[in-house]
């Protein structure tokens, strides 16, 4: 895509809505959909995310199963593949071995064989590194060759169909998740309350929602330093996104047990 459209974090289950990135080529327009991961849900939010994933899978023409080159294929990967084949038994699946830059050639070779064995049949398996761009063009060629012909859905200058508020809220959530451990990352949600322009100055009012009062102290950190870093880091990313200076007014608010409350989930867009 050429620019950042999805956040990253060290915690699993970071993605909470399908993100569509657009690759424009002379011979094809590829809509790449990053979904929340299929998982065994522990909350109502998890159940709803799984339903979103299944609905999304039903609309795509090809699925890419990504496995890092430096991690062994485990029971969780097999569980995901098994459920994929239950939900969309007729949709082709390709294997993508990622993070080539973090593994030796022997590790990569072993992972390619293991993933091909897992997928079976005539499934394509492609190694790539998003970090340095290795094999990305090859992957796109393989994807384009497997997609059916169809209409062009988006203009050439679009890189995603996410709106600006959603992208801003995700950048704030990414900054908030950095360094968090245990269950707290799953308790973080972000909402952009208002975007105002006054005398050429852009102000963004946003809220970080947590589930318990005690979590505020963790987010704030000693003397409010961690919260200050969240504001600084997310503001820098928002400036890159919008291409102009912004003032970020960020607040903390508790929505008790929002992950399991149907009304609060609806309010937050789930």
Give pLDDT tens digits along the chain (270 positions): 667 777 777 666 678 888 999 999 999 999 999 988 888 888 999 999 999 999 999 999 999 999 999 999 999 999 999 999 999 999 999 999 999 999 999 999 999 999 999 998 789 999 999 888 899 999 999 999 999 999 999 999 889 988 899 999 999 999 999 888 776 888 999 999 999 999 889 999 999 999 999 999 999 999 999 999 999 999 999 999 999 999 999 999 999 999 999 999 999 989
Residue 65 to residue 73: CA distance in whole angstroms: 11
pLDDT for 1 equals 61
Delimit the domains of the chain by residue range.
Answer: 19-146, 164-267
Closest C-alpha to 20, from 209, 124, 162 = 162
pLDDT for 104 equals 94
Q: Judge whether 19-146 and 164-267 match in fold.
A: no
Query: Residue 239 region, left (φ>0) first, then alpha (ψ -120 to 50), else beta?
Result: alpha
pLDDT for 10 equals 67
pLDDT for 184 equals 80
pLDDT for 36 equals 87
Give me the DSSP letters along 53-96: HHHHHTT-S-EEEEEETTS---HHHHHHHHHHHHH-TTS-EEEE
Q: Three-state DSSP class for 218?
A: helix
Cβ atoms of residues 35 and 13 within 8 Å: no
pLDDT for 4 equals 78
User: What fold characterizes domain 19-146?
Assistant: Rossmann fold (3.40.50)
Give me the DSSP letters along 162-184: --HHHHHHHHHHHHHHTT--TTG
pLDDT for 183 equals 66
Residue 234 to residue 240: CA distance in whole angstroms: 10
Query: Residue 84 region, left (φ>0) first, then alpha (ψ -120 to 50), else beta?
Result: alpha
Cβ atoms of residues 93 and 119 within 8 Å: yes
User: What fold characterizes domain 164-267?
Assistant: GMP Synthetase; Chain A, domain 3 (3.30.300)
Phi, psi of 77 (to 5 degrees): -65, -40
């Amino acid at each position: 895509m050429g620019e950042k459209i999805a956040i990253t974090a060290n915690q699993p289950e970071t993605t909470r809505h399908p993100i569509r990135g657009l690759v424009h080529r002379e011979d094809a327009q590829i809509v790449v959909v990053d979904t929340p991961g299929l998982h065994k849900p522990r909350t109502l939010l998890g159940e709803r995310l799984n339903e979103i994933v299944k609905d999304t899978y039903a609309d795509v023409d090809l699925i890419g199963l990504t496995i890092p080159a430096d991690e062994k294929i485990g029971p969780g990967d097999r569980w995901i593949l098994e459920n994929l084949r239950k939900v969309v038994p007729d949709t082709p699946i390709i294997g993508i071995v990622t993070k080539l830059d973090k593994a030796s050639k022997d590790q990569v070779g072993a992972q390619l064989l293991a993933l091909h064995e897992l997928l079976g049949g005539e499934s394509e398996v492609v190694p790539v590194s998003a970090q340095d761009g290795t094999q990305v063009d090859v992957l796109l060629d393989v994807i384009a060759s497997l997609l059916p012909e169809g209409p062009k859905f988006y203009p050439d200058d679009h890189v995603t169909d996410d709106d600006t508020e959603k992208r801003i809220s995700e950048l704030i959530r990414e900054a908030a998740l950095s360094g968090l451990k245990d269950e707290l990352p799953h308790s973080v949600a972000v909402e952009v309350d208002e975007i105002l322009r006054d005398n050429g100055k852009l102000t963004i009012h946003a809220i970080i929602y947590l589930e318990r009062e005690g979590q505020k102290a963790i987010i704030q950190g000693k003397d409010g330093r961690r919260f200050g870093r969240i504001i600084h880091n997310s503001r820098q990313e928002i400036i890159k996104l919008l291409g102009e200076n912004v003032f970020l007014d960020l607040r903390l608010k508790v929505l008790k047990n929002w992950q399991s409350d149907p009304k609060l989930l609806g309010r937050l867009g789930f």
